Structure 1
């Protein structure tokens, strides 16, 4: 999460004479990234504090029930203006830092992969310790895993990646190892992203040269179109009429991938934004179809009974079994949430430690899958730096104005529109409308994230009072220290082995965040007037470069 841009600068050689990484000098820093990071850290805190007063297991379930007045307003504002928008900003910044480090290492012929792997290993350890010792809502471990995936995407051998996926997938068939199946799935997806970014292969399809991916999608579209025509003409296969929708989708994707292949330099942002958007468009479409299907099924069940075939019976039995498993999973999740509340409001620190360790062991595989989504944002941030935009934002102000003007209303508007459908999950309700509403919220996070970043850049480049936002730069330079200290402060205030204020009202949480941020901001300014790095940033660099960097100014 912290300042990847400080990674290297001066030429320096190791004992073998090869170039190695060195911290970037102050004049080489991109100040905008520090300010954006400080701005995003405030949003992260506003979102995270809720889950120091509510089970982390309820993350993603929407607004809690029973709120009113200022508590409802605070919860709604954070849910639709903040939540989801700021982890995407951090992901964007991480991708920017990766690209900046890579660009500078290439320019100076310095080693890149080994120091970066040490950096990721340290970040993963910080994340695991943060999760188990302090708070299970950690994001550091997720970023370490995701950035490892980015290394594979940009530098990995596709054949070896796929071979590893096959081997790991086979091992996942062993019951005690079934969780590693998530790793195999992630590797396949990383290989697919890498292929889209790297391939220059084209084919001639009906007299038009196009990327091989577009050609394959066009073939699928033609086949789906033929099936849809057959479904219209032959009543016995009327179910295949749905293929018409598939044909349109394949043609649309073929066009998008055709546009992706036009410029290799612009592929990272195109692939990242396309895959991110397609995931949540599919979520909206699929959950909406399920919602209306359940409603139609309920309506039909009230009609007169009719003869049910054996095939229909088997389908019903399969659906019933699937529903039973879903209910069992939901009951286990609710029990875990109740246990978490009990441990954090009545238990000792050792009880909390055991609970978080068990939770990490059971759910680490979810992080691996989530890392694929994070990489979509990494790729967009990667392009922002490789294109030269972030190193000279003044020359690109029209682009930032457009992103702020259209991104914020579109991104925030999608979430608010979804809130009119549903704001919270309904447990045990099949075809819950909360899921398509959540898809709309998540889809909007991407344009909103770009809009917020652009707004900060515009403020920094203004000459009036808005330029004072630069005060956040030291706060962003110490983002890792401040992020972890936020967790330490919250656990000390809210948990039973601290002051025991668990369950603080949502409006009061906002005031609490404001007070802590002001104190942290003042501390960051004071600390960086005396030291080169924040405490955790210094430790991170020591591991990265495998030597103790200078600390005092």
Structure 2
């Protein structure tokens, strides 16, 4: 990329000064960051094969009620918020001075994104977090730069294309499932008539039986996961390495790319419309709450009931419905409930209520990268064998005691840390690598803040 004329030093590209930060965005990001742990904690603390049993069996017990609340009000919604704010961050970065000191905004932007991809690989393959989103965000970020100057209506349209693609895929998969079910039923009917089956018919029968088998917990696989994760780092790495390969390849490109990309494009549009910056009237934010919760929560409850039906009798579920309500409406529910959360957060922020809490949440959001990776370190230490080894020792609802403890810790630590440092430690490393220059880190005593400060993530 050709260097452009060097601008005055006052215009140099640099991290955003603390006074220039949009505090409302930090608060929303803090809520999203803490909220993400509610969805991640089951995958830190329990074998995946145990989750459906704990979440859906014994309707009305504490596990069931806990999952119902999490699924309807928060699952996917916090990640949606986080993804939207990533998109907002693209606009914040790229609308600054176009060129300075021989570096263009594109140079800075793509350096940040490429470093994020590397951090994501480390989070997944070294820290062993199979639910890592940094890699997916980095891959999506590679494609967002050309969209930065589009009008909000075009950004919204682009996001709808992503969501529409996922809806079509989920509907198509369900129809394929129904076809396999019908083929199986035809084979069963032939068997009852004592007719000899062809190889293709035998394959049809085996295909459906395999699908049904995969909906049930495999105790042998559960025991193997528990043994390896509790055995130590090498055992956990051996078990999760192929899982990471699957998630960061096939799942990433078939699902996460469109999911995160669509939310990021929507976030870019919402930022330009002033939704995240407090520019809208209170009644507008109240409208977001009423519409978002009024549509999303009832739809979420209905989707949860459908998932319960599928858990109880998967074959009957496939026979009864023509599409999967839970999967087809997934992004609709996520968007509207997430916007309801934004409306509620902004009403609290604008009113000045709970200032102590919004200040702490803003600090958590300002250190979102550090706090995200910190959650991985804390949870793997608590649950994996090279730490305390609590993997599969807590039931589903008890995991949320851990979540509450991490929340309290990060809400307390983040404001204190930012009294003494301009950045969270990973934010500092990320920005120093991006600008290829060591950034100021510790705040000098009894001195005013210099121009280089905590960057808008």
**TM-score range for the pair, normalised by the shorter chain length:** 0.7 to 0.9
Structure 2 residue aligned with 1:380, among 266, 271, 277?
266
Matched, 1:30 2:22: yes
Which residue of 21, 26, 30 maps to 2:13? 21
For this pair of structures, how many residues does the alignment match? 429
Consecutive aligned runs of 4 or more in structure 1 exceeding 6 Å deviation: 57-62, 107-110, 299-306, 312-315, 327-335
Equivalent-residue separation in structure 2 for 1:29 and 1:319 (angstroms): 59
For residue 107 of structure 2, the aligned residue among 114, 117, 122 is 114
Match of 1:140 among 134, 138, 155: 134
Which residue pairs with 1:188 in the alignment?
A: none
Q: 1:443 aligns to what?
A: 332
The TM-score normalised by the length of structure 1 is: 0.67
Q: Distance in 1 between matches of 2:359 and 2:122?
A: 32
Structure 2 counterpart SS, 1:39? helix
Unaligned runs of 5+ in 1: 1-13, 156-196, 199-263
- When Rg is computed on C-alpha atoms for both structures, the one with the higher figure is 1
Partner of 2:160: 273
Tell me the distance in 1 between the aligned counterparts of 2:136 and 2:365: 20
Aligned match of 1:91: 83
Where 2:420 maps in the other structure, the secondary structure is coil
| Mapping for residues 211-250 of structure 1, pairs under 5 Å | none
- 1:249-274 CA distances to partner (integer Å, 9 max, x unpaired)? xxxxxxxxxxxxxxx54111133135
2:352 matches 1:352: no
Aligned match for 1:525, one of 415, 418, 424: 415
**CA–CA distance in structure 2, aligned partners of residues 300 and 398 of structure 1:** 59
Separation in 1, partners of 2:442, 2:273: 35
| Alignment check: 8 A CA contact 1:63 1:424 kept | no
**Which of these residues, 482, 490, 505, is aligned with residue 371 of structure 2?**
482
- Between 1 and 2, higher relative CO (CA 8 Å, sep ≥ 6) is seen in 2
- Equivalent of 1:339, from 224, 229, 234? 224
Counterparts of 1:359 and 1:285, CA distance in 2: 25
Deviation digits for residues 332-378 of structure 1, max 9, x if unmatched? 99866543222113x12121123333332344212233212211111
Query: Within 1, Cα distance between the matches of 2:188 and 2:207?
Result: 19
The aligned residue for residue 124 of structure 1 is 117
Give 1:394 deviation, angstroms.
Answer: 3.4
RMSD: 4.0
* Whole-angstrom CA distance in 2 between matches of 1:105 and 1:24: 12
Q: Is the 8 A contact 2:112 2:434 kept in 1?
A: yes
Q: Distance in 2 between matches of 1:296 and 1:418?
A: 27
**For structure 2, which runs of at least 5 residues remain unmatched after alignment?**
444-457
Structure 2 length normalisation: TM-score?
Answer: 0.80
Alpha carbons of 1:512 and 1:454: their partners in 2 closer, same or farther (altered >3 Å)? same
Taking the aligned partners of 2:311 and 2:381, their CA distance within structure 1 comes to 32
Quote the Cα distance in structure 1 between the aligned partners of 2:184 and 2:98. Answer: 60
* Alpha carbons of structure 1 residues 43 and 336: separation in structure 2 relative to 1, 3 Å: same
Partner in structure 2 of residue 411 of structure 1? 296
- Contact kept, 8 Å, 2:93 with 2:109, in 1: the verdict is no
Give distance in 2, aligned partners of 1:138 and 1:432.
Answer: 32
Match of 2:406, SS state, is helix
1:421 alignment partner, one of 270, 291, 306: 306
